[in-house]
Structure 1
Amino acid sequence: METYIALLRGINVSGQKIIKMELLRGIFEAMGFDAVRTYIQSGNVIFRTKKTREQALLKKIESTLEAELGYRVDVLLRTPAALQAIVQSHPYGSIAAEEDRKLYVVFVHSVPDQRLQQAFLTLETPGESFVFAGREIYISIKKDHPKPVFTNMLLEKKLKSVATTRNWATVNKLLLLSTEV
């Protein structure tokens, strides 16, 4: 059995695509997954299943969610090992503990094209920075920064990819919960 973390994009945001976590757990359990847990309302599901190709698992989850909910929900998958590597490879080092910054990790389906990455990096400002690392983008924003450029929608548009963002505390909590399953 393999543990996976499903990161659902765009649910329970600004009153859109509202999904109760109890319902979401039930849908995942009905798909035959074991040890299903959710974490907070932003669409984080930890579950166990037989090791499966990521694309096949994504197709099963997304099509089932659409059939059950009546609308498309994009899903990104990671394993606990992948989350561990993300946490250990944090490019901002000691600032992860600083109180004057907000730290985020953006998850994308595939490594963005190098030209698109370079174009996105031109959007950096003195108060926010971006670091690409495979299928993740690390973001650091100073808390007193007046109006950050970064939004998930802007990133998706510029990188031409589905993406979902989690704050640093959530990434760490998901890692902890996924290793307890």
Structure 2
Amino acid sequence: MATTYAALLRGINVSGHRKVPMAELRSLLEGLGHRNVRTYLQSGNAVFTTDRTDASEDELTTELEDAVEERFGFRVDCLVRDAAYLRAVADACPFPAAELEGKQLHAVYCSAPVTPDRFAALDREAFLPEDFALGDRVLYLYVPDGLGRSRLGDAIARPAVTKGLVATGRNWNTVLKLVEMTEES
């Protein structure tokens, strides 16, 4: 049985650094035996289908990270998540997503569960009206003025909070587009 996944690459094509052209990423994923490969934007979003029932998300992630390093000469942290997970993240959003602009809401996908103790040192009141909520390997981030101006986003990205995690964020428009793309396959 085939499964459709999204691959989320962290920190590529930012300010001309760590360039991974999307056509080459599609070719790389096809070379790994995946099909129906499509990319979205230039920021490291790919959707693919695989018939491999023996591979876990973690195994697919490691294969992709190794292949990117071999092809481009640098390692890129990646997360691979299936269509059902992406749908569940969108459906579980605790913020009024339909009422917000895409830039005001973000999903920060994480490689492991995010627990409240990681954020215990943050004074949430100091960041209001910005806020966050924890989900299944995801942090929902509400930033009414956008992420570029977010003090909470900066605080959450600090190594003390993200230590030991691969974390990569997507704005809500991208979250929904990836759900749509994985469900089309």
TM-score normalised over the length of structure 2: 0.88
Instruction: Indicate the residue corresponding to 1:112 in structure 2.
Output: 114
Q: Is the 8 A contact 2:104 2:147 kept in 1?
A: no
What is the identity, as a one-letter code, of the residue corresponding to 1:82?
Y
How far apart in 2 are the matches of 1:119 and 1:24?
Answer: 38
Instruction: Indicate the residue corresponding to 1:38 in structure 2.
Output: 39
Q: CA deviation at 1:134?
A: 2.0
Picking from 58, 76, 79, the partner of 1:76 is 79
Instruction: Indicate the residue corresponding to 1:47 in structure 2.
Output: 48
The 1:16–1:152 alpha-carbon spacing in structure 2 relative to 1, beyond 3 Å, is farther
Q: Is the 8 A contact 1:100 1:142 kept in 2?
A: no
How far apart in 1 are the matches of 2:113 and 2:174?
Answer: 22
What is the identity, as a one-letter code, of the residue corresponding to 2:112?
S
Structure 2 unmatched runs, 5+: none
Q: What is the RMSD computed on CA atoms of the aligned residues?
A: 2.4
The 1:178–1:9 alpha-carbon spacing in structure 2 relative to 1, beyond 3 Å, is same
How far apart in 1 are the matches of 2:35 and 2:176?
Answer: 22
Instruction: Indicate the residue corresponding to 1:62 in structure 2.
Output: 65
Residue 158 (structure 1) aligned with residue 161 (structure 2): yes
What is the identity, as a one-letter code, of the residue corresponding to 2:49?
R
Residue 142 of structure 2 aligns to a residue whose secondary structure is strand
Structure 1 unmatched runs, 5+: none
The 1:99–1:107 alpha-carbon spacing in structure 2 relative to 1, beyond 3 Å, is closer
Q: CA deviation at 1:58?
A: 1.4
TM-score normalised over the length of structure 1: 0.89
Picking from 69, 75, 93, the partner of 1:90 is 93
Choose 139-148 or 25-34, whichever is displaced more: 139-148
How far apart in 1 are the matches of 2:32 and 2:75?
Answer: 17
Deviations 1:30-82 (A, max 9, x none): 11111111011010110011232122211111111100010001101111111
Deviations 1:80-133 (A, max 9, x none): 11111111111013x542359711000010013442132346486113101011
Q: Is the 8 A contact 1:117 1:132 kept in 2?
A: no
How far apart in 1 are the matches of 2:29 and 2:104?
Answer: 31
The 1:123–1:84 alpha-carbon spacing in structure 2 relative to 1, beyond 3 Å, is same
